[in-house]
C-alpha cells in the first residue's frame, strides 16, 4: 500500500511538471511537430490539383499551399514584390520601352523530389496554357503577351505587345509547374494533361506542404514539407500536415469546431456570432474579422431580354441589342437603388455585418474612389425619379404597381413589373430578395422572385434572358483594377459565354480602361485619376447595383499559436501555426 502511494505521488508530481512544461513546449514545437491544420470545406471535393487546370475554389485552396507562385502579391504590402514568400522570382527588371520584363529565378527553392525550380517551369506552364490544348481558365488572362522565353535556367524574359501597366498582374496568373515531371509525363502533347493521374495525385509538388492523399467526400491530406526554404518559413513548417475536411452541411460547423475537430472556421454563421464573440472576449478562442473580397450584386439587363444578342458582330462592330423596357432607362435603375432600405436589409439579411458598396473596386485597392457614397435609402427621390422616367402612380396608391406613361422604352400602360433571378439554397440571398421585394413594392415596383437551381440560373444568366439577377462576385485582386473590364465592355458581351451578361457596352468606358492600362511609365497618380473616372461613370450609369459586402468573422482554436491573419491573406504564415497535438 505504502509503495503504491509513493508511486502515485511520484506520478502526480510528474504530471504536474508536465502540465507546467506544456505551454513552454507549445512555443518550441519543431518542424512537423504541431497538430495538423484542419480546415473546413463546404464546396465539395477538389476536382483537379494540377495548377494549370484548376477552376474551383476547393482545388485552389489546396494548390495555394502545395505549389509555388511565379510572382505574387506580398500580403504585408499589398504589392507584387520580388521575394514574396512562396514565389520563385526574386528580382526583375523592366526595359526602357516598358515592354520587356526580365525575371531572375531564385536558386534555393526545390520541388519535392529535390529538383531545383527553374525558369523552364514557368516556360512550360506558359506554353501549355497558350497551346489551346488544355482545358484551362487561364488562357483568357494572357492575351497581351508577345513571347515568354527562358534563355537560361535562372532567367525568364517576357515581352508584351505594348507597354502594359497590368503586366505583373497578368504574369501572376501563370503557375510554375514541375516541368521535369510534366515533360516526362506529357512532353509537348499537352492535351494528355486533361485526363492525367497527376491531376488528383500530384506526386511532385513544391510548397509549404506535400500532397499525401485524397479521400473522396472526406478529406484531402497534406503533410509538412521538411525542405521548405527557411527564408520563406523561419523555423520550418510546424504543423504536421494540412487536412481539408469536407462538410456537407453548414448547420453544425460551429459545434464541430467547439468539439475541437476543426482548427478554424473561415466564415462563421451569423447565428452563432454573438456567442463566439463572447468566447473570444473570454480568451476561449481567437477571432479575427476579415473583409470579403467581393460583393453581392443586382445586375440589370440593359438590352432586350426577349432577343439576346452579342455586343459585337464578327467584324467587331457594335450590334443594336434593343433596350430593356424598364431598366434600359438609367433613372429607373437609380430609383431602384434609392428604394432599397440598406439598414433594414443589413439587419435582416446580414445580421448587421454588411457594408454598403459604392464602387466595384475593393476598398483596400489603391485605385478605390473614396469620394463615392453608396446609394442610400431615399424613397422620395426614388418616386421622383420614377415619375420623371414616365412610370407613374396612376391610382394614387403607392402599394399598387406603377404603370408606364411616356416611358422611354415601354408602351404606355405597361405595369412596372419585373423578376429578380437568383439561385436557391443560400439563406443570405433568400433574405435579401424577400426584403427587397417588400421594400421595392412600397415605391411601386412589382417584383417576382425567380429562384432557380444553380445550373438553371447560369443558363439564364449566360443566355442574357433575365430582367435582373442577383449573385455574388468575389476573389478580386485588389492590386489590379483592370480585371473589372470584362464585366463592362462589349468584348465580354457574348450570349452564352461572356462575362458582361448585362450588355453594358459603353465605348467611353472601354477607352478609359485601355488608357489606364497603358499610361506612360504607369504613373500611379495618373492611373488612379482614370480609374476614379471609371468608377464615377459606373456609379452614375449603375449597370450593376452593388448591394453589399460583408465582414466575415474568422475563428481559430485558442491554443493555435502564431495565428495572425492579414487583411489580404488568412493563411500567409500557416507554416508557423503551432498547436500541441491533443
Partner 1 sequence: MAAQSKPHSNVVQLTGAEERFFGESLFQKGLRRLRRDKLTLVALSVLCVMALLALFAPVIINQVLRVDPSATDPFENFLPMGTPGHLFGTDDLGRDQFARLLQAGQVSMSIGFFGALITLTIGLVLGMTSGYFGGFVDDALSWIIATLDSIPSLFLLILISSVLSPTAESLVIVIALIGWTGTTRLIRGQTFSLRGLDYVTSAQALGASPWRIMFVHIVPNLISVVMISLATSIGALILTESALSFLGLGVQPPTATWGNMLIKAQTFYIRGPHMVLMPGLLIFVTVLCLYVVGDGLRDAFDPTTTD
Partner 2 sequence: MFRYILKRAIQSIPLIFGITVLTYLLMTAAPGGPVGALTFKPGTPPQEREKLAARLGVNDPWIVQYMRWLLGDDWMRWDSDGDGLADHAVLLPLDADGDGKAEAPGTSRGVIRGDFGNSFVSRRPVLDVLSERLPATLELGVASLVIGVFVGVVLGILAAVRRGGWFDNVTRIVAVVFNAIPSFWLGLMLILLFGAQLQLLPLQGRCKATISDSCPPIYDRIQYMILPTFILATGLVAGYSRFTRASMLDIINQDYIRTARAKGLNDRAVWFRHAARNALIPVATFLGPAITGILSGAVITETIFSYPGVGRTIVQAVQQRDYPVVMAVTIYAAIATIFGYLLSDVLYGIIDPRIRYD
- Residues 6+ away with beta carbon under 8 Å from 260: 557, 582
Residue in 213, 343, 363, 448 binding partner 2, rule: CB under 8 A: 213
Residues that contact partner 2, how many (by CB under 8 A): 59
Find which of partner 2, partner 1, none residue 424 binds, CB within 5 to 8 Å per kind.
partner 1
Q: Which CB atom, from 25 or from 139, has the smaller least distance to partner 2?
A: 139
34: which DSSP letter? B
Q: Give the nearest distance from C-beta 255 to partner 1 in angstroms.
A: 11
Q: Give the nearest distance from C-beta 153 to partner 2 in angstroms.
A: 31
Please answer whether residues 474 and 292 qualify as being in contact, where contact means their C-beta atoms are separated by less than 8 angstroms: yes
Q: Which CB atom, from 223 or from 530, has the smaller least distance to partner 2?
A: 223
Residue in 9, 278, 412, 454 binding partner 2, rule: CB under 8 A: 454
Alpha helices in 354-447 (DSSP H): 379-388, 427-441
Rounded to an integer, what distance in angstroms lies between the CA atom of residue 220 and that of residue 205?
Answer: 15
Find which of partner 2, partner 1, none residue 126 binds, CB within 5 to 8 Å per kind.
none
Residue 310: name the closest of 75, 66, 492, 112 by CA.
Answer: 492
Question: Which helix H or strand E contains 105, and what residues bound it?
Answer: strand 100-105
Q: Give the nearest distance from C-beta 341 to partner 1 in angstroms.
A: 9
In the chain the first and final C-alpha atoms are separated, in Å, by: 33
Q: Which CB atom, from 166 or from 246, has the smaller least distance to partner 1?
A: 246
Q: Give the nearest distance from C-beta 449 to partner 2 in angstroms.
A: 18
Please answer whether residues 416 and 382 qualify as being in contact, where contact means their C-beta atoms are separated by less than 8 angstroms: no
Q: Which residues bind partner 1 (CB under 8 A)?
A: 250-251, 269-272, 275, 344-345, 347-349, 424-425, 427, 430-431, 433-435, 437-439, 449-453, 455-456
Rounded to an integer, what distance in angstroms lies between the CA atom of residue 453 and that of residue 31?
Answer: 46
Residue in 280, 355, 486, 510 binding partner 2, rule: CB under 8 A: 486
Rounded to an integer, what distance in angstroms lies between the CA atom of residue 526 and that of residue 530?
Answer: 7
Q: Which CB atom, from 224 or from 451, has the smaller least distance to partner 1?
A: 451
Q: Which CB atom, from 148 or from 469, has the smaller least distance to partner 1?
A: 469
Find which of partner 2, partner 1, none residue 213 binds, CB within 5 to 8 Å per kind.
partner 2
Q: Which CB atom, from 166 or from 548, has the smaller least distance to partner 1?
A: 548
Q: Which CB atom, from 176 or from 498, has the smaller least distance to partner 2?
A: 498
Residue 330: name the closest of 469, 502, 447 by CA.
Answer: 502
Largest CA distance in the chain: 103
Rounded to an integer, what distance in angstroms lies between the CA atom of residue 252 and that of residue 115?
Answer: 44
Q: By rule CB under 8 A, what string of x and - marks binding of each residue 228-267 to partner 2?
A: ------------xx-x-xxxxx-xx--xx-xx-x------
Q: Which CB atom, from 100 or from 194, has the smaller least distance to partner 2?
A: 194
Q: How many Cβ atoms sit within 10 Å of the Cβ of residue 283?
A: 8
Nearest 5 degrees, angle CA 386-CA 391-CA 395?
110
Residue in 28, 162, 453, 540 binding partner 2, rule: CB under 8 A: 453
- Residues 6+ away with beta carbon under 8 Å from 320: none
Q: Give the nearest distance from C-beta 495 to partner 1 in angstroms.
A: 21
Which residues, numbered 411-450, are part of the site for partner 2 (CB under 8 A)? none
Please answer whether residues 547 and 345 qualify as being in contact, where contact means their C-beta atoms are separated by less than 8 angstroms: yes
Rounded to an integer, what distance in angstroms lies between the CA atom of residue 66 and that of residue 167?
Answer: 25
3-state secondary structure 392-417: ECCCCCCCCCCEECCCCCCCCCCECE
For position 271 contacting partner 2 by CB under 8 A, the verdict is no
Q: Calculate the alpha carbon distances from 206 to 195, 202, 237 in Å.
A: 22, 10, 13
Q: Give the nearest distance from C-beta 420 to partner 1 in angstroms.
A: 11
Question: Which helix H or strand E contains 554, and what residues bound it?
Answer: strand 544-557
For position 199 contacting partner 2 by CB under 8 A, the verdict is yes
Residue in 462, 506, 562, 569 binding partner 2, rule: CB under 8 A: 462
Q: Which CB atom, from 16 or from 252, has the smaller least distance to partner 1?
A: 252
Four-residue CA torsion sign, 476, 489, 167, 535: negative
Residue 240: name the closest of 262, 260, 224, 220 by CA.
Answer: 224
Q: Which CB atom, from 68 or from 241, has the smaller least distance to partner 2?
A: 241
For position 277 contacting partner 2 by CB under 8 A, the verdict is no
- Residues 6+ away with beta carbon under 8 Å from 379: 338, 339, 442, 443
Q: Give the nearest distance from C-beta 527 to partner 1 in angstroms.
A: 40
Which residues, numbered 487-506, are part of the site for partner 2 (CB under 8 A)? 494, 496-499
Please answer whether residues 154 and 118 qualify as being in contact, where contact means their C-beta atoms are separated by less than 8 angstroms: yes
For position 512 contacting partner 2 by CB under 8 A, the verdict is no
Residue in 86, 136, 334, 359 binding partner 2, rule: CB under 8 A: 136
Q: Give the nearest distance from C-beta 241 to partner 2 in angstroms.
A: 4
Stretch that binds partner 2, among 92-100, 158-166, 219-227, 391-399 (CB under 8 A): 219-227
Q: Which CB atom, from 205 or from 421, has the smaller least distance to partner 1?
A: 421
Rounded to an integer, what distance in angstroms lies between the CA atom of residue 488 and that of residue 165?
Answer: 19
For position 89 contacting partner 2 by CB under 8 A, the verdict is no
Q: Calculate the alpha carbon distances from 290 to 33, 121, 570 in Å.
A: 29, 34, 8
Residue 436: name the closest of 298, 319, 327, 275 by CA.
Answer: 298
Q: Which CB atom, from 129 or from 345, has the smaller least distance to partner 2?
A: 129
Q: Which CB atom, from 81 or from 491, has the smaller least distance to partner 2?
A: 491
Residues that bind partner 2 (CB under 8 A): 36, 38, 44-45, 47-48, 55-56, 132, 135-137, 139-141, 194-195, 199-200, 212-213, 215-219, 221, 223, 240-241, 243, 245-249, 251-252, 255-256, 258-259, 261, 453-459, 462, 473, 483, 486, 494, 496-499
Amino acid at each position: 500500500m505504502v509503495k503504491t502511494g509513493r508511486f502515485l505521488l511520484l506520478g502526480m508530481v510528474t504530471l504536474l511538471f508536465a502540465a507546467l512544461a506544456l505551454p513552454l513546449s507549445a512555443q518550441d514545437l519543431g518542424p512537423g511537430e504541431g497538430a495538423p491544420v484542419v480546415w473546413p470545406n463546404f464546396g465539395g471535393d477538389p476536382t483537379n490539383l494540377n495548377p494549370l487546370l484548376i477552376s474551383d475554389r476547393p482545388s485552389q485552396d489546396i494548390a495555394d499551399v502545395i505549389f509555388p507562385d511565379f510572382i505574387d502579391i506580398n500580403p504585408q504590402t499589398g504589392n507584387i514584390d520580388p521575394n514574396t514568400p512562396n514565389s520563385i522570382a526574386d528580382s526583375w527588371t523592366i526595359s526602357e520601352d516598358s515592354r520587356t520584363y526580365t525575371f531572375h529565378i531564385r536558386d534555393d527553392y526545390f520541388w519535392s523530389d529535390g529538383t531545383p525550380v527553374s525558369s523552364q517551369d514557368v516556360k512550360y506552364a506558359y506554353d501549355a496554357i497558350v497551346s489551346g490544348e488544355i482545358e484551362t481558365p487561364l488562357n483568357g488572362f494572357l492575351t497581351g503577351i508577345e513571347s515568354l522565353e527562358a534563355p537560361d535556367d535562372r532567367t525568364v524574359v517576357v515581352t508584351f505587345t505594348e507597354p502594359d501597366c497590368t503586366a505583373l498582374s497578368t504574369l501572376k496568373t501563370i503557375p510554375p509547374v514541375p516541368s521535369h515531371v510534366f515533360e516526362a509525363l506529357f512532353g509537348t502533347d499537352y492535351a494528355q494533361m486533361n485526363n492525367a493521374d497527376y491531376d488528383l495525385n500530384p506526386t511532385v509538388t513544391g510548397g509549404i506542404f506535400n500532397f499525401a492523399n485524397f479521400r473522396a467526400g472526406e478529406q484531402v491530406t497534406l503533410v509538412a514539407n521538411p525542405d521548405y526554404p527557411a527564408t520563406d518559413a523561419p523555423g520550418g513548417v510546424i504543423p504536421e500536415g494540412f487536412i481539408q475536411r469536407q462538410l456537407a452541411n453548414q448547420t453544425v460547423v460551429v459545434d464541430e469546431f467547439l468539439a475541437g475537430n476543426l482548427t478554424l472556421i473561415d466564415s462563421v454563421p451569423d447565428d452563432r456570432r454573438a456567442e463566439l464573440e463572447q468566447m473570444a472576449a473570454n480568451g476561449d478562442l481567437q477571432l479575427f474579422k476579415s473583409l470579403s473580397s467581393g460583393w453581392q450584386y443586382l445586375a440589370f439587363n440593359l438590352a432586350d431580354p426577349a432577343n439576346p444578342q452579342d455586343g459585337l458582330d464578327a467584324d467587331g462592330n457594335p450590334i443594336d441589342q434593343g433596350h430593356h423596357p424598364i431598366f434600359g432607362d438609367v433613372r429607373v435603375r437609380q430609383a431602384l437603388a434609392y428604394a432599397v432600405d440598406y439598414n433594414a436589409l443589413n439587419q435582416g439579411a446580414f445580421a448587421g455585418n454588411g457594408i454598403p458598396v459604392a464602387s466595384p473596386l475593393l476598398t483596400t485597392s489603391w485605385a478605390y474612389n473614396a469620394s463615392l457614397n453608396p446609394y442610400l435609402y431615399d424613397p422620395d427621390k426614388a418616386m421622383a425619379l420614377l415619375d420623371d422616367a414616365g412610370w407613374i402612380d396612376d391610382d394614387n396608391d403607392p402599394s399598387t404597381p406603377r404603370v408606364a406613361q411616356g416611358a422611354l422604352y415601354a408602351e404606355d400602360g405597361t405595369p412596372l413589373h419585373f423578376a429578380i433571378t437568383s439561385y436557391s439554397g443560400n439563406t443570405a440571398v433568400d433574405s435579401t430578395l424577400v426584403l427587397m421585394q417588400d421594400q421595392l413594392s412600397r415605391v411601386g415596383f412589382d417584383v417576382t422572385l425567380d429562384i432557380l437551381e444553380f445550373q438553371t440560373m447560369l443558363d439564364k444568366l449566360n443566355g442574357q434572358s433575365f430582367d435582373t439577377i442577383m449573385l455574388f462576385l468575389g476573389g478580386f485582386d485588389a492590386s489590379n483594377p483592370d480585371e473589372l473590364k470584362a464585366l463592362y465592355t462589349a468584348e465580354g458581351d457574348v450570349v452564352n459565354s461572356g462575362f458582361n451578361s448585362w450588355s453594358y457596352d459603353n465605348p467611353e468606358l472601354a477607352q478609359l480602361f485601355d488608357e489606364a492600362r497603358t499610361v506612360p511609365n504607369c504613373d500611379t497618380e495618373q492611373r488612379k485619376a482614370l480609374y476614379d473616372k471609371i468608377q464615377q461613370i459606373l456609379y452614375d450609369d449603375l449597370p450593376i447595383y452593388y448591394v453589399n459586402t460583408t465582414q466575415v468573422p474568422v475563428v481559430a482554436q485558442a491554443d493555435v499559436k502564431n495565428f495572425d491573419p492579414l487583411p489580404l491573406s488568412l493563411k500567409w504564415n500557416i507554416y508557423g501555426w503551432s498547436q500541441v497535438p491533443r
